[in-house]
Amino acid sequence: MLQVFAVTFPFFALVLMGYAAARRGLLALEAIPGLNGFVLYFALPAMLYRFGARTPIAQLLDARVFLVWLLVALVVVGFSVAISLNERIRWKDAAFGALVAAFPNTGFMGVPLLVALLGPEAAGPIIVTILVDMVVTSSLCIGLSQLDSVDEHGFAHAAQKALKGILVNPMPWAIGLGALASAFAFDLPGPIERTVGLLADAASPVALFTIGAVLARSDLRAAASAQPAAGLGDVLPIVLVKLLLHPLLVLLMGISARHLGVSIDRFALTVLVLIAALPSASNVSLLAERFGANNGRIARIILISTAAAFFTFSGAVALLH
């Protein structure tokens, strides 16, 4: 277990540093969008392109990994909505709560952490899950969030916003270009390759520091918001779904698939379980804010899941090893 903590500690420590820097004013809140923009539009796409280009195309197009992850995501979304809906939490807040339950922080945290733990061959399953979560899970939850106002805006309005978000997100494009480079054995020219490498190498520390800063900003904004504060009864069930139920369902789904004759690779299944054990994606807070959901609840879920994941994720790694 100490060996696992030795690997995971620096990653979570960088998140804590970013959180503390923003909370104590060492990092101006106005600077956080700049950090986020650098990671989202430059560093992380470079990292994903590099992994995609170096990963065999068969791993990037693994339908078994895709289906296992997608089916579990649908179950988690449905279950989370079912346990969330009440007089205080309507469809909009329930849908975004379901999104933080099903959408792990794969891009900013999972890619560098799992590659450090398991090696670069973990990149294939990771990339598949990123595509499912960004294209299918996010779109589904955004659509569900509009059920409260279906007569005012409807699904078409939500679908347009979701599609626009997908099209302007550089990560799917970087993954697609990397997959093409892998399929055609294409190598970038030397100077461009080194430039992409420098950006990719910067992705991990800056992304982790940015996660903490974004969490701090969301926490501060939620505290200053006029929206009612979310009680632990509206937060902890979703945290438990994310950190415990989600990875357990992935494991059970993968084992069931193997018993049914679907030959999902054991290593790929291990990667999927550890991805599911990651904390909630921090960018869901930005989506919740954009669509007018109770961002205080979402930010609190993300914050608690990130803090608790240091122990639960490390425990999952120790058990699977």
185-201 tens-digit pLDDT = 899 999 999 999 999 99
Give the model's confidence band at 294: pLDDT under 50 very low, under 70 low, under 90 confident, else very high. confident
Give the model's confidence band at 142: pLDDT under 50 very low, under 70 low, under 90 confident, else very high. confident
Residue 151 has pLDDT above 60, yes or no: no
Q: What is the pLDDT of residue 239?
A: 96
CA–chain centroid gap for 59, Å, is 20
Query: Contact 179/60 with Cβ under 8 angstroms?
Result: yes
Q: What is the pLDDT of residue 171?
A: 82
Q: What is the pLDDT of residue 276?
A: 97
Which residues neighbour 159 within 8 Å (Cβ) at sequence distance 6 or greater?
139, 143
Q: What is the pLDDT of residue 160?
A: 67
Which residues neighbour 211 within 8 Å (Cβ) at sequence distance 6 or greater?
15, 18, 105, 108, 109, 282, 306
Determine the 3-state secondary structure of 87 from DSSP: coil
Segment 129-149 mean pLDDT = 85
Phi, psi for 56 (deg, rounded to 5)? -55, 140
Q: What is the pLDDT of residue 17?
A: 95
| Residue percentage of the chain with pLDDT more than 90 | 50
Which residue, among 242, 230, 318, has the nearest Cα to 275 in the 3D structure? 242
Angle at 160 between CA 159 and CA 166, to 5 degrees: 90
Q: What is the pLDDT of residue 227?
A: 61
**283 vs 213: which has the higher pLDDT:** 213
**102 vs 258: which has the higher pLDDT:** 102
User: Which range among 90-104, 187-201, 204-218, 287-301 shows the weakest confidence by mean pLDDT?
Assistant: 287-301
Which residue, among 289, 286, 280, 225, has the nearest Cα to 98 in the 3D structure? 280
Residue 271 has pLDDT above 80, yes or no: yes
| Cα–Cα dist 246/249, whole Å | 5
Query: Contact 80/94 with Cβ under 8 angstroms?
Result: yes
| Residue percentage of the chain with pLDDT more than 70 | 91
Residue 32 has pLDDT above 80, yes or no: yes
CA dihedral 62, 68, 74, 77 (to 10 degrees): -110
Segment 59-81 mean pLDDT = 93
User: Which range among 88-97, 179-188, 226-235 shows the weakest confidence by mean pLDDT?
Assistant: 226-235
Q: What is the pLDDT of residue 77?
A: 97
- Give pLDDT tens digits for 153-188: 555 665 666 666 667 778 888 988 999 999 998 999
Segment 53-80 mean pLDDT = 92
Yes or no: is domain 2-320 CATH 3.80.30.20? no
- What integer best gives the mean pLDDT of the chain? 87
Residue 245 has pLDDT above 60, yes or no: yes
- Give pLDDT tens digits for 101-136: 999 999 889 888 999 899 989 989 999 999 899 888
